[in-house]
Amino acid sequence: MATSYGALCTDFYINQKLALKMDLPSERETVLHYFDRIRKAEPSMTRFRRYDGELALESSRKDSEYKWMALRRTSIRSGHVNPPSLNTAYAFHRMALEVSPHFLSISPLDVDYVELMFGFDLECSDNHDEVVYEALLGDTPLGSLLRVEEGKVLDVQPVFGATLSQSGDLQAYFEVKTRQKSRRGSGRAYRDEPISLYLTLRQYGPVEQLEQLLTIFETLSGKCEGLANDKLVPDILTPIARHITSSSA
């Protein structure tokens, strides 16, 4: 992975979501015409798949780098996993914002919000919740809540949110996702799953013109980079990665 973020984790990915207020067209011809346009722009995306409540076009996941685009009832989602550069991923998401309104009959009134997420996966064979607890909470007053005799940490998945504008229409969320455990706290079945860290920025509408979507994207990507560099990497990722390394030594 060529990105500096990729060097800090097992997998790094950038996802985008365009959330709408009304249902997207579901006619067979419209959907296929849309995905065919995406495939022409991204020839590696040849796998057309149906999931629960979702239609997706993907490139092969045999390689560490891959892209995907998905339609749900009221949203268009796209993702680039392990991109060779931030600009490569940004170009893919810009293309989605440029193409989708025309092929799917989206108007400015329909836009609910635009969301951009930086995701970081960290390999961890130890108990995820204990690792996150020790790395982020430890001896803090909040950490003392889970320090009980003859017990162990069961669920530690902090989520923090903040507004980045006075009106509250621009929001940022930091989230740590540990993998599901049994009711008794055993994580043996998930020892190969990563701990995931998410930085999500969301800009709510309204928008006056569809061209504003690209302006919004530039704002979100710039602020994502700034918050990742200044907050997520030093305050969340580095402590967790350091604890994973020390506990495995």
Q: pLDDT tens digits, residue range 188-244?
A: 555 679 999 999 999 999 999 999 999 999 999 999 999 999 999 999 999 999 999
What is the predicted pLDDT for the residue at 153? 86
Following DSSP, what letter does each residue of 172-202 receive, concatenated?
EEEEEEPPP--TT---GGGTTSEEEEEEEEE
Of the ranges 75-84, 92-101, 134-143, 187-196, which one carries the lowest mean pLDDT score? 187-196
Report pLDDT for 188. Answer: 58
What is the mean predicted confidence (pLDDT) over 119-130?
Answer: 94
Q: What is the per-residue pLDDT for 247?
A: 72
pLDDT for 163-186, tens place per residue? 999 999 999 999 999 986 665 555
Q: What is the DSSP string of 21-67?
A: SSPPP--HHHHHHHHHHHHHHSTTEEEEEEETTEEEEEE-TTSS-EE
pLDDT at position 1 is 41
Give every CB contact of residue 239 below 8 A, 6+ residues apart in sequence: 135, 136
Residues 6+ apart with CB under 8 A from 199: 117, 118, 119, 172, 173, 174, 224, 227, 228, 231, 232
Mean pLDDT (the chain) is 93
> What mean pLDDT comes out for the span 116-141?
94
DSSP-derived secondary structure letter, 210: T
Q: What are phi and psi of 232, to 5 degrees?
A: -65, -50
* pLDDT number for residue 192: 75
The string of pLDDT tens digits covering residues 33-43 is: 999 999 999 99
**Domain layout of the chain by residue ranges:** 6-248
